[in-house]
Amino acid sequence: MVYSLSGVRFPTAPSSSSLNKSVRASFNADRKIDHLSFFLRNRSSSRKNLASRLAYDSESPSSTVAASGKILVPGSDVDDSSSSKEPSEVLQTVLEDPQASIDASKMGNESEIEGEENYIDPTGGYGEGGEAQDSASSLPVHEDEKVKGLTDLEVEEMISRESEQVRKRTIPPPGNGQRIYEIDPLLRNFSGHLDYRYGQYRKLRDAIDKYEGGLEAFSRGYEKFGFTRSATGITYREWAPGAKWATLIGDFNNWNPNADVMTQNEFGVWEIFLPNNADGSPPIPHGSCVKVRMDTPSGLKDSIPAWIKFAVQAPGEIPYDGIYYDPPEEEKYVFKHPRPKRPKSLRIYEAHVGMSSTEPIINTYANFRDDVLPRIKRLGYNAVQIMAIQEHSYYASFGYHVTNFFAPSSRCGTPDDLKSLIDKAHELGLIVLMDIVHSHASNNTLDGLNMFDGTDSCYFHSGSRGYHWMWDSRLFNYGHWEVIRYLLSNARWWLDQYKFDGFRFDGVTSMMYTHHGLQACVGFTGNYNEYFGYATDVDAVVYLMLANDLIHGLFPEAITIGEDVSGMPTFCIPVQDGGVGFDYRLHMAIADKWIELLKKRDEDWRMGDVVHMLTNRRWLEKCVAYAESHDQALVGDKTIAFWLMDKDMYDFMALDRPSTPLIDRGIALHKMIRLITMGLGGEGYLNFMGNEFGHPEWIDFPRFDNRLPDGKVVPGNNNSFDKCRRRFDLGDADYLRYRGMQEFDQGMQHLEEIYGFMTSEHQYISRKNEGDRVIVFERGDLVFVFNFHWNNSYSDYQIGCLKPGKYKVVLDSDDPLFEGFGRIDHNAEFFTSEGWYDNRPRSFLVYAPARTAVVYAPIKDELEPIDG
């Protein structure tokens, strides 16, 4: 049965239209939608009072807060008692007032927030184990070491020179690629394949050095191909070796095919130079529609230029039009905030701009900037990963069927709107990752790269090797010189021109194997023979090595994450050492395993299986773990919340009506699953927007009925946007249980910010008891205790630990603030006893309620004053 949110019965729920107009005011005057989602409302006093009663350390001094509710900087002319806070107190301050994390991000010499005070990061500058650390990574412009004391104009000039500085960087030459055998001696059995792979990489690097002047110059293809403007006019170049004749047409020449005929060189590159008009104006006005018409083996064909920087869909039209995008200097967006420093640990908020509104519309870059980025910051994430940036004519492809690789999606705004979004994220201390698609391309011929020059081999493999039958898309030929130039230049374009801070490379498994990792062809078991053989596409792996070399060489702080489900060895080892060079592997197996477990009763879960699933990763290769991503939110699948609570979510999430056993179980396990995934799963963590509070229902893009060639009809949804949005208002509503789930996710993110446990070198799993259903592990200074038992709670339960002294609760999934039952005393202190237990030198006793996760941290003793 299909349920609709319209069927939710919330007697006390106000509608968005009934909100007080004072909270509907927009952040900026350029908002295109005249409403604000519910999350901008102030928290109710009842919530704040509840949080106050549940403070983790009620005996500690309270936070120093200005009259406006913002945390004041220690060391100023106000009370500086907050400087001596324990990390757990700082965490509670954030939980009581999540707005504090937004306020903190505004800290600067000239406050951008209403009021005169300066503000401090709500984490208090604490790092792993509560030690003070450099918090510059989260500081906006005026507090960054590199720009301290500079004026806004000087900062803008510094940022504008970044491209010039990147040009001067030298990408290190290839190493010998032999360290992989020291890291993993089993690889010596496959040295023939691996040495051949590295040899191909070296040969390609040498050829690029010889013929193109190196990777740095080679990756600036966008300065040679497509439209390039000079003082005297515009040059247009296009690689189309299959074409027999080509001409540039568009609004600027009234679409006259005889006006601007192009010439071809021996490499298949077509070119034309258009001089400026007599009055000095450019020959192609900004905003003009343009196409290239070619006489090809398939006949006459009008195509959008392959290197086009912007493309739009005209009203009533199906194919897109290429747009010459070159606004006047005074209209171009100027970046004002430098990139934040690369964080030690990644806490990624995966987002889709188009569906990020609470309303059934396609949202804009501007609205996402104003509404969603502050939410991400407040929740405690330090990175936002944005999907569907590259232009894609089919909205329901989720951005993965790219038609125009250098153009940002026009559905959400202009290129300058996107730049403004990224600049705002940097101001908030958020790094911005782009979900980049180099694994395949749209099958479209009218507005994509397919059959660009009338042949099926331009950019792609010809024949069946160039077609992905499951995705209905084209596959790149990574062994072709111009394809390598195109894709490497594309990666650099987004980093250089738009200031993205890195990439999540989509579909890498499909790239690395000729069978594309499809289960119908192969199932990866971990046997090394599956990775190094004839099924491996060496050209594709070498391209990935080049891409990582380029990105890390020119942008040392940039981050690359590869979506690989196969477990390819050497994937996250530096290229110099013989690896593929990614910083992180996306740990996709975890989400699949959680779905597998959720199909069973939790009474049948095995604690050993859970631990193995989360810790089964390669040594020295970092992973980004997640319990669910956008994949699980799509129609046809279920989110974790839906697996756990199903249709009860529609009737029993309101606080003014009794809960049900299914809801209580679902909320408890939802919190535990996410915390244990973050705690054990990797060195980074990812969440898809809305899943932090258990977003109900699935994502269903607007679509009409589709008639297949065999006559069957795939029913659509009447082109509805109702389920293609994110109901953030549910997570913000004081009267719904979603709020507690969101509060817990926020507490989880801020806990990691304070203690840095994901990147701690210390990790020890001391207990995975199948009878008790208990898992205990240490990560960093913290001790995590998970009781998955559905009925049994344990008093005076002994758990092992490393550090001596006393501990206290710093996060408790059973806290009433998180829709728990309040069975844990947060004021209690836990003293260690000497003696080995669970292979740990010490232990202490705790209360472990059923279906509850509790995190304990050591308390640092205060020094006694010395008499004298």
Q: Which DSSP letter does residue 343 get? A: P
Q: Which residues pair with 473 in a beta bridge?
A: 442, 468
At 20, list the tokens: 């007080």
At 616, list the tokens: 């089964």
* Position 19 in a domain: no
Domain final residue, candidates 324, 358, 375? 324
Answer whether 248's CB lies under 8 Å from 284's CB.
no
* CATH (domain of 360): 3.20.20.80
* Position 191 in a domain: no
Name residues whose C-beta falls within 8 Å of residue 230's C-beta, 6 or more positions apart in sequence: none
Domain identity same for 663 and 801: no
**Burial class (CB within 10 angstroms; exposed 0-12, middle 13-18, buried 19+) of 330:** exposed
Nearest-angstrom CA–CA distance, 345 and 352: 22
**Burial class (CB within 10 angstroms; exposed 0-12, middle 13-18, buried 19+) of 618:** middle
Domain identity same for 286 and 358: no
* CATH (domain of 245): 2.60.40.10
Answer whether 335's CB lies under 8 Å from 326's CB.
no
Nearest-angstrom CA–CA distance, 334 and 442: 32
**Burial class (CB within 10 angstroms; exposed 0-12, middle 13-18, buried 19+) of 704:** exposed
Nearest-angstrom CA–CA distance, 499 and 423: 8
Written as one string, the DSSP assignment of 221-287 is GGGTSEEEE-SSEEEEEEE-TT-SEEEEEEGGGTT-TTTSB-EE-TTSEEEEEEEPPTTS--SS-TT
Written as one string, the DSSP assignment of 445-459 is SSSSSTTTTSSTTSS
* Position 308 in a domain: yes
Domain identity same for 824 and 705: no
Domain identity same for 623 and 727: yes
Q: Domain tally for the chain?
A: 3
Q: Which residues pair with 294 in a beta bridge?
A: 246, 301
* Position 612 in a domain: yes
pLDDT at 524: 87
Domain final residue, candidates 747, 775, 805? 747
Helix (H) / strand (E) containing 559: strand 559-562
Catalytic entry in 563, 564, 781, 812: 563
Name residues whose C-beta falls within 8 Å of residue 305's C-beta, 6 or more positions apart in sequence: 226, 227, 236, 238, 290, 291, 292, 322
Q: What is the mean pLDDT of each run of 10 residues along the chain (868 residues)?
A: 29 32 30 27 32 31 30 32 46 47 35 29 31 34 54 85 91 94 96 98 97 97 98 98 98 97 97 97 97 97 98 90 96 95 96 92 96 97 97 90 97 97 98 98 95 97 95 96 98 98 97 87 86 95 98 97 95 97 95 93 96 93 92 73 92 94 97 98 95 88 82 85 88 96 97 96 96 98 98 98 97 97 96 97 98 96 51
* Position 24 in a domain: no
Give the C-alpha distances (Å, rounded to integers) separating 759 from 25, 88, 655, 673, 681: 40, 19, 38, 19, 11
Domain identity same for 350 and 309: no
Domain that holds residue 287: 225-324
pLDDT at 816: 97
Q: Which DSSP letter does residue 536 get? A: B
Residue given tokens 């500081």 in the structure block: 139
Domain identity same for 286 and 374: no
Domain final residue, candidates 714, 747, 780? 747
Domain identity same for 418 and 507: yes
Ramachandran area for residue 819 (φ above 0: left; ψ -120 to 50: alpha; else beta): left
Q: Which DSSP letter does residue 839 get? A: T
Domain identity same for 313 and 351: no
Q: Which DSSP letter does residue 420 get? A: H
In the residue annotation, 563 being an active-site residue is answered as yes
Domain identity same for 831 and 788: yes
In the residue annotation, 506 being an active-site residue is answered as yes
* Position 516 in a domain: yes
Nearest-angstrom CA–CA distance, 500 and 702: 29
Domain identity same for 307 and 366: no
Domain identity same for 714 and 682: yes
Domain identity same for 526 and 398: yes
Q: What is the 3-state secondary structure (H, E, C) of 364-409?
A: CHHHHHHHHHHHHHHHCCCEEEEECCEECCCHHHCCCCCCEEEEEC
Answer whether 627's CB lies under 8 Å from 674's CB.
yes
Helix (H) / strand (E) containing 853: strand 852-858
Q: Any idea of the CA torsion for 31, 36, 40, 44, to the nearest 10 degrees?
A: 160
Residue given tokens 């507490």 in the structure block: 747
* Position 844 in a domain: yes
Answer whether 51's CB lies under 8 Å from 92's CB.
yes
**Where do the DSSP E strands lie in 643-718?**
684-688, 706-707, 713-714
Catalytic entry in 506, 583, 692, 732: 506
* Position 139 in a domain: no
Nearest-angstrom CA–CA distance, 862 and 868: 19
